[in-house]
Amino acid sequence: MIKGIPVSKGYAIAKIYKLHKPKIDTQKSLVMDPELEIKRYHDAIHKTKLAIEKLKSKSIERFGEETSKIFDAHLMIADDPEIKTSVESMIRHEQCNLTYALQTVVDRFLRLFSDLDNEYLRERAIDLKDVSERILSHALGLETSDLSLIQDNVILVSEDITPSETTQLDTTYIKGFITEQGGMTSHSAIIARLLNLPAVAGVKDALKKLRDGDEVIIDGFSGKVLLNYDDTTRLDYEERIQKYLTHLSSLSSYIGLPSRTVDGYETKLLANIGTPKDVDLVFAHDAEGIGLFRTELLYMDKKEMPSEEEQFLAYQEVLTKMHDQKVVIRTLDIGGDKYLPYLTLEHELNPFLGNRAIRLSLSKPDIFKVQLRALLRASVYGNLHILIPMISTKEEIVSVKKIIKELKKDLDASGIPYGNYQLGIMIEVPSAVMLADALAKEVDFFSIGTNDLIQYTFAADRTNENLSSYYQPCHPVILQMISRVTQAAHDAKIPVSVCGEMASSLIQGPLLLGLGVDELSMTPSEILKMRRVLHLNSYEILCQTAQNVLKYDSEEHVLREIKKWIVLEGDS
């Protein structure tokens, strides 16, 4: 048995499927027989083309012809005569190995492209890298993984699963994740909870310890991964899977009920989503609106900046589907651990303290304006709330408002309509907490991002698993900050929601309400569970408990106290 951090609940029994990210050695070495090396090159090209063809037909089946055209370009690049001739002559003249020759030639083209500094060419540079890595992997006999080709029930094992990889996940076959890196708030964990898949993170040496094809049991409650178990254990887990599924379906009796405590306090439980497709999940789990639409996936899943029209269509789709229910759309939150393949950012020593989120948007107004214009145009179609991430000074929100004002003038001049909307900010930096009174006068709502607030308060990188003990959401310091923010907001008569991981937790969520938070926004799969817990608890007790624990000095103490007062299980 091996153990990691449980980051998404559920159980699964399935075969291991390792996501290979081979390290390719491109050191120069002499070869005895250059012609044999060239033959290896041709073989590798052939195999690469077959693999691309396979991906292409698979892709056409799933996504249609248009989206799959990229693979035609990949086929051409694999077979490019200019690259081929250069590589062959280099192998012959320098008697060198294929991997060195190909890498050298490819690097030459990449340099040429970056000198031209053209958006379209940068797009091809990514493709060239992708294809050449495939050829090198084939030449070296390394396997590369294509998630879309999986046709069997599997549990994915990887260092970490990147955002672009998560977009290709097919839950028909993929039953869970095991990752070596990451924790509760890493992207793959968030996706796992969104898809209701069990996931265990921070499993050291998982790729070494687990073998492809071996059946394992993954327990997303305890973080255990079981290998070599006996039949009794397997039967026990099969039973648990059944029970858990029944539990999930019993939640369906809460569909359509208000999110209300026993003493009649009513709140709204909202959903966090990443793409317009997720609106289906919002309805399936009966969320009362969208509390956070992260727009990063609209940008990440692409080879170039999405146009104003593309973004407008995505926002319009979500707003229209949600009718007059609240939809909070957060502007681009890139930087830190999230980047875009086509947007070169300066290398930073401390990305989480760097030019990210609103800072990046304000430093690249051309990109920011496209998004704001798309949002303004979409505001006609529903109840739009625009959310600006990572505000740390008042000047930032003043600048944003100025840009919006100019954009509205442009729209007016062109006769393009826009509607009403609310403008809010994320409170996730300690300076914003201290400034909350002043900020509340500038905006229509607050949304507290607890993941970043915790990392910035404890000065502990949330992607560093050695520091996971610093991730203490219920530490009195964090609770005091939240209490301060809700006070400031209510003094200014604006609402506060929480959209971080805390809002999804069945213990922390109710505590947040006790601290004065008005609405909770969470992974759709947690909505009905949270509604059930609210139906078991009294708002008055939640408020009293919250007030009592504020003066404690450790998270442990807080947890002990709130477990006494918050009811998680009913009599049923």
Query: Which positions are catalytic?
Result: 187, 499
CB 448 within 8 A of CB 497: yes
d(CA 84, CA 77): 10
The stretch near another protein (CB under 8 A) out of 16-24, 110-118, 402-410, 433-441 is 110-118
| 544 touches another protein by CB under 8 A | no
Q: What is the DSSP letter of 353?
A: G
- In the bound complex, what is the minimum distance in angstroms from residue 119's beta carbon to another protein? 9
Instruction: Please give the single-letter amino acid code of residue 48.
Output: T
- In the bound complex, what is the minimum distance in angstroms from residue 44's beta carbon to another protein? 17
**DSSP letters for 76-101:** HHHT-HHHHHHHHHHHHHH-B-HHHH
Nearer to another protein, 73 or 380 (CB): 73
Could you tell me the sign of the dihedral formed by the alpha carbons of 544, 514, 257, 522, in that order? Answer: negative
| 116 touches another protein by CB under 8 A | yes
| 133 touches another protein by CB under 8 A | no
| 130 touches another protein by CB under 8 A | no
Element spanning 233, H or E: helix 231-250
Q: Does residue 57 come out as left (phi exceeding 0), alpha (psi in the -120 to 50 range) or beta?
A: alpha
| 255 touches another protein by CB under 8 A | no
Task: Report the DSSP pairing between strands 421-427 and 445-448.
Answer: parallel
| 369 touches another protein by CB under 8 A | no
Cite the beta strand spans of 362-467 per DSSP E.
Answer: 383-388, 421-427, 445-448
Q: Binding residue for another protein (CB under 8 A) from 32, 33, 81, 324? A: 81
- In the bound complex, what is the minimum distance in angstroms from residue 117's beta carbon to another protein? 9
Q: Binding residue for another protein (CB under 8 A) from 80, 146, 165, 461? A: 80
CB 157 within 8 A of CB 206: yes
If one counts every other C-beta atom within 10 angstroms of the C-beta of residue 451, the result is 18
- Own/partner contacts of 352-360, CB < 8 Å, gap of 24 or more, are 352/455, 352/456, 352/461, 352/462, 356/390, 357/332, 357/333, 357/389, 357/390, 358/331, 358/388, 358/389, 358/390, 358/391, 358/396, 358/400, 359/335, 359/390, 359/396, 360/332, 360/334, 360/335
The stretch near another protein (CB under 8 A) out of 121-129, 154-162, 198-206, 418-426 is 121-129
Distances (CA, A) of 464 to 201, 313, 470, 522: 12, 37, 10, 23
Nearer to another protein, 50 or 76 (CB): 76
- In the bound complex, what is the minimum distance in angstroms from residue 74's beta carbon to another protein? 10
The stretch near another protein (CB under 8 A) out of 30-38, 96-104, 122-130, 477-485 is 122-130
Q: 118 is written with which tokens?
A: 């053209």
Q: Binding residue for another protein (CB under 8 A) from 90, 128, 157, 391? A: 128
Q: Binding residue for another protein (CB under 8 A) from 113, 312, 446, 471? A: 113
Nearer to another protein, 83 or 530 (CB): 83
Nearer to another protein, 82 or 324 (CB): 82
Nearest to 302 by CA among 452, 126, 146: 126
Q: 18 is written with which tokens?
A: 């390792």
The stretch near another protein (CB under 8 A) out of 109-117, 240-248, 451-459, 468-476 is 109-117
| 114 touches another protein by CB under 8 A | no
Q: 355 is written with which tokens?
A: 């030019």
Q: 508 is written with which tokens?
A: 């922390």
Nearer to another protein, 77 or 425 (CB): 77
| 302 touches another protein by CB under 8 A | no
| 124 touches another protein by CB under 8 A | yes
Binding mask 54-73 for another protein (x = CB under 8 A): ------------------xx
What is the chain's alpha carbon radius of gyration, rounded to the nearest angstrom?
A: 26
Nearer to another protein, 118 or 544 (CB): 118
| 482 touches another protein by CB under 8 A | no
Angle at 351 between CA 346 and CA 353, to 5 degrees: 120
| 120 touches another protein by CB under 8 A | yes
The stretch near another protein (CB under 8 A) out of 14-22, 82-90, 237-245, 251-259 is 82-90
d(CA 80, CA 73): 10
Give phi and psi for 83, each to the nearest 5. -65, -45
| 36 touches another protein by CB under 8 A | no
| 174 touches another protein by CB under 8 A | no
| 112 touches another protein by CB under 8 A | yes
Number of residues lying near another protein (CB under 8 A): 19
| 76 touches another protein by CB under 8 A | yes
| 452 touches another protein by CB under 8 A | no
Cβ within 8 Å of residue 57, ≥6 positions away: none
The stretch near another protein (CB under 8 A) out of 114-122, 189-197, 239-247, 373-381 is 114-122
- In the bound complex, what is the minimum distance in angstroms from residue 121's beta carbon to another protein? 6
- In the bound complex, what is the minimum distance in angstroms from residue 70's beta carbon to another protein? 10
- In the bound complex, what is the minimum distance in angstroms from residue 413's beta carbon to another protein? 25
What is the 3-state secondary structure of 270-319? Answer: EEEECCHHHHHHHHHCCCCCEEEEECHHHHHCCCCCCCHHHHHHHHHHHH
Nearer to another protein, 51 or 128 (CB): 128
The stretch near another protein (CB under 8 A) out of 81-89, 162-170, 305-313, 553-561 is 81-89
Nearer to another protein, 118 or 252 (CB): 118
How many residues are listed for the chain in this entry? 572
- In the bound complex, what is the minimum distance in angstroms from residue 139's beta carbon to another protein? 19
Binding site for another protein (CB under 8 A): 72-73, 76-77, 80-83, 85, 109, 112-113, 116, 118, 120-121, 123-124, 128
